[in-house]
Structure 1
Amino acid sequence: MSPVRSNECVGMELPGVGNPRTVRDLAALVQSYNPKLVFLSETRQSEEHMQSLRWHLGLKAYLVRSCVGRSGGIALFWDESLAVNLITISNKVIDVSVQEDSVSPPWRISFFYGEPRVEDRYLTWEFMKRIKSRSDKPWIMVGDFNETMWQFEHFSSTKRGERQMEAFREALEFCGMHDLGFVGLPWTFDNKQFGRRNVRVRLDRAVADDNWSNLFGQASVEHLVSPCSDHCLILLRLAPADAQRVKPKILRYEIMWEREQSLEDVIMEAWDSGPAKTFLASFASALKGVMQSLHSWSRENFGSVRRKLEELRTRLAELNGKMDDDSRAEARRMAAVMDEMLYREEMMWLQRSRIS
């Protein structure tokens, strides 16, 4: 039985999702990985505001719970090609069944945002046990559980409480869940502090039962860094990424070029060096030459925005993996560079969008 072709979903804790910079980063990630499901936790936004985010993501179907005061808030967006049916929803959990088409097997995915307060965390584990029997479909849980399973997942000068980790493991065992592992940084949360105050913890993960793992034997989990969040994104692939098909290059004028002051000089030089403009065909030929010159200039000065973003994100992950102050400072500079690239990415995709 083959896994569904719509083979990626993203889970992310995203405080400040109302910030344009944060939305740009999220939209760039969706453009890069083309997930069919996107879950956001700790949005700190109202349901009305989160509804508008679907146009940025290109995922029109959604389920949303508003924040309470200035904290909380969860949202799930998905591609309309999927049949997504609600099983359970609360302020911290969205639990649904997913089916790609009538011949694909349905399965269950629960997106969690665990109780942030240690003394309330038992509520998450009790809720997890309570909803276990609400569906017999192959089951996976993804999200920020606000807890680790083992001491070695807690990178700090102080140890984590053994009882709270044991309670988490006991709840997973009750539900028949096992950890799916990951690729990337060994932690998913970094408090961005220096020295002994620095805490890095693996709070976000994907866990599944045996039926789900048997259905998706090639599934994998990747930790992706974001300059806009102190949490990593959780990228779940149900199958290896498909090889991209090569499409013919379309030469178009890019609005993002206008971020460079030298644009006008490049256009004037290309136009003046072209053929004499004596009839309509010569004007068309001259315009074609200008566009070719602009794309040659763009490759030298801009390159591939998406490729540069991927390189910057990889470099940011490397810097975040280091403990020294110089690396921390360089990571902040790298985040500023990413912000400019994300702005250019947004301009590029808005230009291609049919939505005003």
Structure 2
Amino acid sequence: MKLLIWNCRGADNKVFKRTMKELVQTHKPSILVLMETKVELSSLGQFFNKMRFTASSHVDSVGRSGGIWVLWDPFRATVKPLEVNAQFIHAKVQRDNFEDWILSAIYASLNRRNRDLLWANLEAIADNMTSPWLVAGDFNDIASLSEKRSFSTNISQARTQKFNARMNRCNLMDLGCSGPHLSWSNGRQGMANTLERLDRAACNSEWRLAFTEGAVRNLPRTYSDHSPMVVYT
């Protein structure tokens, strides 16, 4: 199974639709996770139906900001939502002849206090988690100094330490990635350019044992400032 996970920075435009079709045709994902969609899913229902994707789990945007969608090919998998809020969709993934597992699709807020609420929720989930668990998306945080390249701003070691402590409290291990290591760019040129690894997938030991060949590949950025990410189980 493949999951295509992408902070697409707006889904209601021709470039998104063309890019989405190309990504689906090339990588053939069973599950799509889209963030920062900026529109309601209902406006694109027909577009996704033509590609055989359905959805019952989504957080629509507020005005022109936010939004998380989880869509899936019903011939390959079933996704059942368990908990939904503005920063994550927590769902059970089911597939014939395979063990059920849990997906938490993350779109972490830029606001520090809101991110604290996200991690409090994830820690509460982790305390009772016995199933294989994958947590993936845009965390809006970095785990080490090597995950940021910038000429104009300082890198906060306290920020990376806090992020790693949270991952540890949730018993999550980073799956790493191939392809472009730094998944987000501010789009500026020269000395003003900043790159960070804001997008990642992490899992608990049960997911790692269930999917021993699980891996992540970051794809080149297109019109969005974030790279699409493919998770292979």
Corresponding letter in the other structure for 2:192: R
1:83 aligns with 78
| Residues 25-47 of structure 1, C-alpha deviations (whole Å, 9 max, x = no match) | 01110011110000000000023
Question: 1:57 Cα deviation (Å)?
Answer: 3.2
Please give the alpha-carbon distance, in whole angstroms, between the structure 2 residues aligned to 1:9 and 1:42: 17
Please give the alpha-carbon distance, in whole angstroms, between the structure 1 residues aligned to 2:132 and 2:106: 17
1:68 aligns with 62
Please give the alpha-carbon distance, in whole angstroms, between the structure 2 residues aligned to 1:198 and 1:235: 25
2:135 aligns with 141
Please give the alpha-carbon distance, in whole angstroms, between the structure 1 residues aligned to 2:127 and 2:43: 33
2:122 aligns with 128
2:155 aligns with 160
In structure 2, the residue corresponding to 1:97 is in which secondary structure? Answer: strand
Q: Contact (CA 8 Å) 2:175, 2:201: kept in 1 or not?
A: yes
**Structure showing greater relative contact order (alpha-carbon pairs closer than 8 Å, 6 or more residues apart):** 2
More helix by share: 1
2:227 aligns with 232
**Unmatched segments (≥5 aa) in structure 1:** 1-6, 239-356
Question: 1:10 Cα deviation (Å)?
Answer: 0.6
Check if 1:98 corresponds to 2:89.
no
Inter-CA distance 169–50: structure 2 relative to 1 (3 Å threshold): farther
Inter-CA distance 162–219: structure 2 relative to 1 (3 Å threshold): same
Corresponding letter in the other structure for 1:206: A
Quick one: which of 191, 194, 204 aligns to 2:189?
194
| Structural mapping, 1:264-275, within 5 Å | none
In structure 2, the residue corresponding to 1:166 is in which secondary structure? Answer: helix
Please give the alpha-carbon distance, in whole angstroms, between the structure 2 residues aligned to 1:75 and 1:96: 12
Corresponding letter in the other structure for 1:89: V
Corresponding letter in the other structure for 1:208: C
Question: 1:115 Cα deviation (Å)?
Answer: 1.0
| Residues 209-266 of structure 1, C-alpha deviations (whole Å, 9 max, x = no match) | 111111111111000124221100110111xxxxxxxxxxxxxxxxxxxxxxxxxxxx
| Structural mapping, 1:27-38, within 5 Å | 27-38=21-32
Check if 1:179 corresponds to 2:174.
yes
Please give the alpha-carbon distance, in whole angstroms, between the structure 2 residues aligned to 1:159 and 1:185: 22
Report sequence identity in percent.
27
More displaced stretch, 83-92 vs 113-122: 113-122
2:35 aligns with 41
Inter-CA distance 215–192: structure 2 relative to 1 (3 Å threshold): same
Question: 1:52 Cα deviation (Å)?
Answer: 3.4
Question: 1:50 Cα deviation (Å)?
Answer: 4.0
Check if 1:13 corresponds to 2:10.
no
Quick one: which of 97, 100, 113 aligns to 2:107?
113
Corresponding letter in the other structure for 1:33: H
| Structural mapping, 1:249-264, within 5 Å | none
More strand by share: 2
Corresponding letter in the other structure for 1:48: S
Aligned CA RMSD, in angstroms, stands at 1.5
Question: 1:117 Cα deviation (Å)?
Answer: 2.5
Runs of 4+ that moved beyond 4 A:
none
Q: Contact (CA 8 Å) 1:44, 1:72: kept in 2 or not?
A: yes
More displaced stretch, 60-69 vs 190-199: 60-69
Q: Contact (CA 8 Å) 1:128, 1:171: kept in 2 or not?
A: no
Question: 1:131 Cα deviation (Å)?
Answer: 2.3
Please give the alpha-carbon distance, in whole angstroms, between the structure 2 residues aligned to 1:99 and 1:56: 22
Q: Contact (CA 8 Å) 2:126, 2:171: kept in 1 or not?
A: no
Please give the alpha-carbon distance, in whole angstroms, between the structure 1 residues aligned to 2:95 and 2:162: 35
Q: Contact (CA 8 Å) 1:125, 1:167: kept in 2 or not?
A: no
Q: Contact (CA 8 Å) 1:145, 1:204: kept in 2 or not?
A: yes
In structure 2, the residue corresponding to 1:155 is in which secondary structure? Answer: strand
Aligned length: 231
In structure 2, the residue corresponding to 1:230 is in which secondary structure? Answer: coil
Q: Contact (CA 8 Å) 2:31, 2:73: kept in 1 or not?
A: yes
Question: 1:120 Cα deviation (Å)?
Answer: 3.6
In structure 2, the residue corresponding to 1:122 is in which secondary structure? Answer: helix
| Residues 130-149 of structure 1, C-alpha deviations (whole Å, 9 max, x = no match) | 22245421111110000001
In structure 1, the residue corresponding to 2:12 is in which secondary structure? Answer: coil
Q: Contact (CA 8 Å) 2:72, 2:78: kept in 1 or not?
A: no
1:223 aligns with 218
Normalised by the size of structure 2, how large is the TM-score? 0.93
